[in-house]
Amino acid sequence: MSSVHIRDVKKYFGALCVLDGVSINVEPSEVVAVIGRSGSGKSTMLRCINGLERIQQGRIEVAGHTITPEAGDLRSLRKEVGIVFQSYNLFPHLTVLENITLAPRVVKRIGRDEADEIGREALRRVGLEEKSGAYADELSGGQQQRVAIARSMAMKPKVMLFDEVTSALDPELTGEVLKTMEELAEAGMTMILVTHEMGFARQVANKTVFMHLGKVWEEGPSAELFGAPRTPELQNFVSSSLK
């Protein structure tokens, strides 16, 4: 079960309402892009899905787990819901393979040999099998981000969340990472990605969600949403993004 159902979620930071009654459905193997201006609540929503932020109202059902304001079994949830951030957060003193196999060994109690096998397969899927013995500072930014994706994949998640994973990369390296994400999508991974890559959202995502002022302002099939925005807010956002 790899669906995500967000129901009337509210999240406050102090008196500020960052998510104001957000509801989104993501079906198994669906790729959903979340777009919007800075401060619209996109990244906060992702962090709530993974239990990194606590919600004050509503309900999130993700990969068979339920999150409510009262909490949830976050340890079990995070075994099955991967999240990749803008910053790679690789341990500099560990090799690429050691970075990838750490969580399966510690969290899932998998033996070293099996974990290494899983780690090499994850590296192969992101095109970096030959870098297993390298250290983070020997890799480009694009390679480090692909290792971060492989690290998440090694936990064999049912759902993967991506939070602006290309925003710190130059265009050439961005292309590397987007290709990896596109291959994941083609393999049937359920994905929610917060992105400013409008072309990628339009081509790869089945559905796009436009957030504004902490709300889901518009949503629909990506080609339809970009081709004929219904609200002035999305029209302005799309036109400014394409300049």
The CA-CA-CA angle for residues 230, 181, 37, to 5°, reads 35
- The CA angle 125-80-119, to the nearest 5 degrees, is 30
Model pLDDT for residues 206-233, shown as the tens digit of each residue: 999 999 999 999 999 999 999 899 999 9
Considering its fold, how many domains does the chain have in total?
1
Answer for the pair 234, 225: CB distance below 8 angstroms, yes or no: yes
Angle between helices 112-125 and 171-186 (to 10 degrees): 110
Q: Give the pLDDT confidence of 143-169 residue by residue, as tens digits.
A: 999 999 999 999 999 999 999 988 878
Tell me, what CATH number does 92's domain have?
3.40.50.300
Give the span between the Cα atoms of 108 and 113, in whole angstroms: 14
Q: How sure is the predictor about 74, in pLDDT bands with cuts at 50, 70 and 90?
A: confident
The domain containing residue 143 runs over which residues?
4-241
Provide the edge-to-edge strand list for the sheet that holds 57-62.
16-26, 4-13, 57-62, 65-67
Q: For residue 243, is pLDDT > 60? A: no
pTM of the model: 0.91
